Chain A
Amino acid sequence: MTYLSELFASRELFYNLTMRDVKGKYRRTVLGQLWSLINPLATMLVYTLVFSFIFRARPSVGDPSGLDIYALWLMTGLLPWMFFTRVVTGAMTSVIGSAGLIKKVYFPRMHLPFSVAGSVGYTWAIEMAVLTIALTVFGGMPLIWVPVALFFMLMLTFFALGLGMLLAIGNVYFRDLQHFTTIALQMWMYLTPIIYPLSLVENQAATHGQWILDVYRLNPMERFVSVFRELLYDNRWPDLSDSLVCIAWTVVMFTLGFLVFKRSEKRLAELL
């Protein structure tokens, strides 16, 4: 309990580290914070061009929203995914990146990965707000679902943090992990129905065997993406089992990451 209360007592440090990243990132750029919106927009254009016009990916029409716009459908899955990868890679490198600080000053080290989630989450919140406006403009009704979406955004944050903290400690022992994770995340993205709809996998499973779908759906990010699509694109309650699986993964992953990080925290100064 004392560990948690110390963490809570130093919450101002969390805030300051978060703001350091938020403010430092776009300092001295002409467009400033706008860059954080230009990046996903550029990605959106490329994916829409390639997968909607060339490969003709056809997600089903939003039910009941009636939306049928690939770019918006894509972004409801892609923005959570991009947030996830940024938190995982950022948290993973946060410990090694602050080696100098860790060796010179005592402070609760967990604020390093936490503040990554804070600053990346800040950008994500803006992106999601813009997406919600766009969905509304094109005829959806995502606004009433925002509170539920916020809850799952929080879940995804803690899920990503748990994984990131686990990898941060692993990375101290094996620096290869960082490069390995970058590749793994790229493959993971294509194993998640972000740029193509799940129905493509369901079709394959129908002809080649149900096990394909069962294995495919072991991926927790598949569940998270489905939940965000159902909430914001379709505008309905997410599937109950998907929601429960998301929550269960979050609890397990965050607890694991937290405990492993806490156990290794004291030795970080000499390991780095």
Chain B
Amino acid sequence: MTQAAVVVDDVSKKFRLYKEKNDSLKTALMRGRRSVHEDFWALNDVSFEVPEGSTFGLVGRNGSGKSTLLKCLAKILYPNSGSITSRGKVASLLEVGSGFHPELSGRENVYLNGSILGMSRKDVAKKFDEIVDFSGVRKFIDQPVKNYSSGMYVRLGFSVAINVDPDVLVVDEILAVGDAAFQAKCKEKFVEFRKAGKTVILVTHSMGNIRDMCDHAAWLDNGSLVQVGDAQSVIKAYTADIDKGDR
């Protein structure tokens, strides 16, 4: 058994759902100090390990907590209890191109976005050509990004993020964007990643993608872990459950 790249240990995450949120002074004064809320557990005591070098798929219905879990992995959210430990640098592709400044050129935005994702100027400079080639927007790289089509925008953002060169890459439903050719390129990049011994954790709704790419998988339902292990068997159980629900 190889070492674990990520250990998710007993993680629970609670959201407060506000019936009426006191985000103005008037409502706060009128209703007293307390907002009316109820707790909603988006994750319940989830534990599993992601082996180093594996491509790990996360499946589950909408609202089952997949994105919440990924955000906890990426340190955007913090679990209420339990812990997540990762070996090495974690990078996340949750929504690419956030942080682009519309008036700045593609080139300037590559540097800006790179540093938001934790790359140094030197790293970006070294990878600049690779990033631009991968995105396929070289002709427009000195144009302000507000003139980009949404596809170009996403491709450039994705290219920066994927070149951060993390040890663990966290991807949320990103394969749904871009045209077929770009998706093929992305898959190639994931394969390259795996060959380099890196770990990829991804959420996708395409069972085909999971079957092709993942070797391990976990199935979440209503914030709880149903099954974790070898990708083929998890997918089989999950699709069987969906079919049962459909009938």
Report the bound CA distance from A24 to B71 in whole Å. Answer: 30
Q: B151 at the A/B interface (Cβ < 8 Å)? A: no
CA distance A101 to B99 in the complex (A): 6
**What per-residue 1/0 map shows which CB atoms of A10-23 lie under 8 Å from chain B?**
10110111001001
Number of interface residues of B (CB under 8 A): 31
A12: chain B residues at CB < 8 Å are 115, 120-121
- Verify A269–B111 contact, CB threshold 8 A: no
Chain B residues in 8 Å Cβ range of A17:
112
Question: Of all chain B residues, which has the CB nearest A27?
Answer: B103
Chain A residues with CB under 8 A of B116: 13, 16, 101, 105, 107
Chain B residue nearest in CB terms to A21: B101
Complex contacts, B75 vs chain A, CB 8 Å: 106
Q: Taking the complex as formed, is A208 at the interface, i.e. its CB lies under 8 A from any CB of chain B?
A: no
Q: Are A16 and B115 in contact (CB under 8 A)?
A: yes
Instruction: Please tell me if the beta carbons of B74 and A106 are within 8 angstroms of each other in the complex.
Output: yes
Do A101 and B77 contact each other (CB < 8 Å), given the known contacts A175-B24, A176-B24, A176-B25? no
Q: Chain A residue with minimal CB distance to B90?
A: A106
Could you tell me if B76 and A104 are in contact, using CB atoms closer than 8 angstroms?
A: yes
Bitwise, B109-125 to A at CB < 8 A (1) or not (0) is 00110011110110000
The answer to whether B23 and A175 have CB atoms under 8 Å apart is yes
B23 and A173 within 8 A (CB):
yes
Number of interface residues of A (CB under 8 A): 29
**Does A266 make an interface contact (CB < 8 A)?**
yes
B233 CB within 8 Å of chain A = no
For the complex, give the distance between the alpha carbons of A12 and B118 in Å: 9
Contact A174 B74 (CB under 8 A): no
Inter-chain contacts of B25 with A (CB < 8 A): 174, 176-177, 180
In whole angstroms, what is the CA distance A10 to B116 when docked?
Answer: 9
B78 within 8 A of A: yes
Flag whether B94 is at the interface (Cβ < 8 A). yes
How far is it, in angstroms, between the C-alpha of A270 and the C-alpha of B115 when the chains are bound?
Answer: 23
Complex CA distance for A114 and B92, rounded to whole angstroms: 24
A10:B118 contact, CB within 8 angstroms: yes
Q: Flag whether B108 is at the interface (Cβ < 8 A).
A: yes
Is A32 an interface residue when CB atoms closer than 8 A count as contact? no
- In the assembled complex, B191 has its CB within 8 A of some CB on chain A: no
Residues of B contacting A15 with CB < 8 Å? 115
Q: Are A20 and B104 in contact (CB under 8 A)?
A: yes
Q: Return the CB mask of A86-119 against B: 1 if under 8 Å, else 0.
A: 0000000000000011111111000000000000
Decide if A106 touches B76 in the complex (CB within 8 Å): yes
Known contacts A13-B116, A20-B104, A106 near B24 by CB under 8 Å: no
- A105 and B104 in contact (CB under 8 A), knowing A16-B112, A20-B112? no
Cβ-defined contact, A104 with B98, below 8 A: yes
For the complex of A and B, list the 5 residue pairs with the smallest distance between their C-beta atoms, beginning with the closest. Answer: A106-B75, A176-B25, A104-B98, A27-B103, A16-B115
For the complex with contacts A105-B99, A106-B75, 10 further pairs of A-B residues with Cβ separation under 8 Å are: A12-B120, A20-B101, A20-B104, A27-B103, A105-B98, A105-B117, A174-B23, A175-B23, A176-B26, A269-B76
